[in-house]
Amino acid sequence: AQSVTQLGSHVSVSEGALVLLRCNYSSSVPPYLFWYVQYPNQGLQLLLKYTSAATLVKGINGFEAEFKKSETSFHLTKPSAHMSDAAEYFCAVSDDIEGGGADGLTFGKGTHLIIQP
């Protein structure tokens, strides 16, 4: 069974500071990993995904994440936080490798990112 753990339900950073949101996964097979962002009263939007190509993945809005197999981690970072980054962030894992059909993603509990002016 696959699972995702996001460390810290709330993370607060100052505007312009580094953003680091932590995600550790558990999967019995090489995983596909995703980060989603949810703004208030909206659905989830895909930020970036890892699908066994490059271990450093760049996404939208200046975010990136690095897949580290030895640490079973997929932490999300952004060099300089902006007020508009305030949102809920979800890490997710899928171990679907067969193609032709999608298994459900398993989501972490989410991390609420707060940006201090």
Task: Tell me which residues touch other proteins (CB under 8 A).
Answer: 32, 34, 36, 41-46, 49, 51, 90, 94-110
Token pair in block for residue 100? 């032709």
The dihedral through the CA atoms of 109, 95, 36, 16 has a sign that is positive
Distance CA 114, CA 104 (A): 29
> Which residue type does 52 have?
S
Among 54, 30, 39, 28, which Cα is nearest to 90's? 39
Select 65 or 81, whichever has its Cβ closest to other proteins. Answer: 65
Select 81 or 92, whichever has its Cβ closest to other proteins. Answer: 92
Nearest approach, Cβ of residue 66 and other proteins (Å): 18
Select 16 or 69, whichever has its Cβ closest to other proteins. Answer: 69
Select 42 or 55, whichever has its Cβ closest to other proteins. Answer: 42
Nearest approach, Cβ of residue 35 and other proteins (Å): 10
Nearest approach, Cβ of residue 106 and other proteins (Å): 8
Q: Is residue 98 within 8 Å of 42, Cβ to Cβ?
A: no
